[in-house]
Structure 1
Amino acid sequence: MLALFSISTLATISAVVAQNVTQIMVGSSGSNPFMFTPANVTVAEGDIVTFTFSGVPGNHSVTQSSFTAPCDPLGNGFDSGNILIPAGTSSGFPTWNLTVTNASQPIWFFCKQLVPQPHCNSGMVGSINAPATGQFTFDAFKQAAQAHQGNSGQSVGFLVGQAASASAVPGPFSGSITGFGLPNPSATAPSVVSSSAAASPAATSASSASKMHTSGVFAMMAAIIGLALA
């Protein structure tokens, strides 16, 4: 019995150790605040990607999109909501953990904030496990985002998206740090019809965004406050 317990304990410890954490900084305090750093990462299935909202001042989101529509929320994609970091903040930056559930599928994301100009059109996009070569690279995704005309979609997504999921909204919020349009933890994203279709980075178009539950009030509040923060 002791031997079996020891084997089980070692297996559990090994699983925890094997779960690596990759950090991505959201926003920047430099001359270009519209960026994820790093913007393109490669991780294993089961690994955690931690987004730290550290751009000061900042007003950003981490919203899943598709290769074909880089600046529009994916209909069944993950979404952090808009996280507002006031000027002068030096600590207590909120974080958001995504667990990669399918490492074979590229994951595309962007910032949907619109003020002072659409952040996605300014190149604030990122990817997880994007192909290094071929048609669907991160560079091609970013170029498509920068060529996007008009505003980004403002639908509120979910905690669980395609190929990655979160178990909670970003946090903690301290001082004047605020979150708007956060995903509802009890909301369930529409199921993917075909796993083979989901594996293609160009399979899901922006038309699926209509399936999302929306929060126009939250989006407007975030945009207004963003005038002073972005």
Structure 2
Amino acid sequence: MMNFLSTALLFSSLPLIHAQYGNSAKSSTTTAASSTTSTTSAAGGVHTINVGEDGLTFNPASLTVASGDKVEFHFFPPEHSVVQASFANPCQPISSGGFFSGFFTTSGESKTVFTLTVNNTDPIWYYCGIPGHCQAGMVGVINPPSSGQDTLDSFKSAAAKAQGSTVPANVFGGVVGNASSGNSSSAATGTSTSSPSKTSAATATATNAANTMRTAGDVGALVLLGLFSWLMM
């Protein structure tokens, strides 16, 4: 009689064992799945133009960016600037709006940059305001026209014939400050998601844990069943 009660007591604990293992497995799987939903949004792309790194040049001299992107002008020795012009009048500040970086004098790459936010995809023609630099071909364009006669080569040819250069009185139209940590010559997507490899690893770990728990529960049931059979002999 005592053996029968002991066996019955053991069997009555089986649902509790199964519930414990089953709930733990489900919780682990849910945690792993929820970790994949976290996302972080960032701003538009950041592009770099090197000013005077290779002589009297902007590199790249022609750059296509999306509306909302930023362009960082990085300055190199000895002294340079960047000024917006119109296509029809190179080496002179544009009559309305535009930007002027001020003059950057440096013995190495400047620790500060001039950052321009591009608000649309209209062509932006610009030049270096140091006397003689514009005429020597130090000009560039952001978002050049896709067709027509307004080309960078035409703008450069017109600049070579320009009579002198002028600049605005003050810095405006952009921000002088430190370079961003993630600038690149091509636009970034601006969106990060949890790493697929980490997500897969977490899901696999949770699944393995669940299988192990279920296996442990099945083994326990078999042991108890064998014990019951032995007691009934």
TM-score, normalised relative to structure 2: 0.55
Q: Find the partner of 2:141 among 115, 123, 127.
A: 127
Q: Which of 52, 70, 75 in structure 1 is aligned with 2:90?
A: 70
By how many angstroms is 1:155 displaced? Answer: 2.5
**Residue 169 (structure 1) aligned to one of 158, 167, 176:** 176
Q: Report the Cα offset of residue 139 of structure 1.
A: 1.7
Answer whether contact 1:63 1:157 (CA < 8 A) is retained: no
CA distance in structure 2 between the aligned counterparts of 1:74 and 1:46, rounded to whole angstroms: 21
Output aligned runs, 1:1-230, within 5 Å: 13-14=40-41, 16=42, 19-28=44-53, 30=54, 33-53=55-75, 55-56=76-77, 58-75=78-95, 76-86=97-107, 89=108, 93-103=111-121, 105-114=122-131, 118-148=132-162, 150-156=163-169, 158-160=171-173, 166=174, 168-170=175-177
Deviation >6 Å, runs of 4+: none
Structure 2 contact 93–167 (Cα < 8 Å) conserved? yes
Aligned mates of 1:22, 1:69 — CA distance in 2: 26
AA partner of residue 60 (structure 1): H
For 1:144 and 1:170, locate their aligned partners in 2 and report how far apart those are by CA, in whole Å: 32
In structure 2, give the amino acid aligned to 1:113. Answer: I
Cα distance between partner residues in 2 of 1:122 and 1:157: 24
User: Which structure carries more helix by proportion?
Assistant: 2
Higher relative contact order (CA 8 A, sep 6+): 2
Which structure 1 segments of 5+ residues have no match? 1-8, 161-165, 173-230
Q: Provide the residue aligned with 2:195 in structure 1.
A: none
Q: Deviations over 1:112-142 (max 9, x none)?
A: 101xxx1000000011001133111222111
What SS does the aligned partner of 2:176 have?
coil
TM superposition score normalised by structure 1 = 0.56
1:158: how far off?
4.8
Spell out, residue by residue over 1:28-56, the C-alpha distance to the aligned partner (whole angstroms, 9 max, x if none): 2x4xx211000010000001111101x23
Q: Any conservation in 1 of the 2:85–2:92 contact (CA below 8 Å)?
A: yes
Structure 2, unmatched stretches of 5+, are 1-37, 180-233
Query: What is the SS of the residue equivalent to 1:169?
Result: strand
User: SS at 2:73's partner residue?
Assistant: strand
Looking at structure 2, the residues matched to 78 and 129 of structure 1 have their Cα atoms a distance apart, in angstroms, of 16
DSSP-derived class of the 1:144 partner: helix
The residue that corresponds to 1:214 in the other structure is none
Give SS of 1:127's match: strand
Using a 3 Å threshold, how does the CA distance of structure 1 residues 68 and 157 change in structure 2: closer, same or farther? farther
Contact 1:27 1:36 in 2 (8 A): yes
Distance 1:124-1:92 versus aligned 2 partners, 3 A rule: closer
Q: 1:146 to 1:132 in 2, by over 3 A?
A: farther
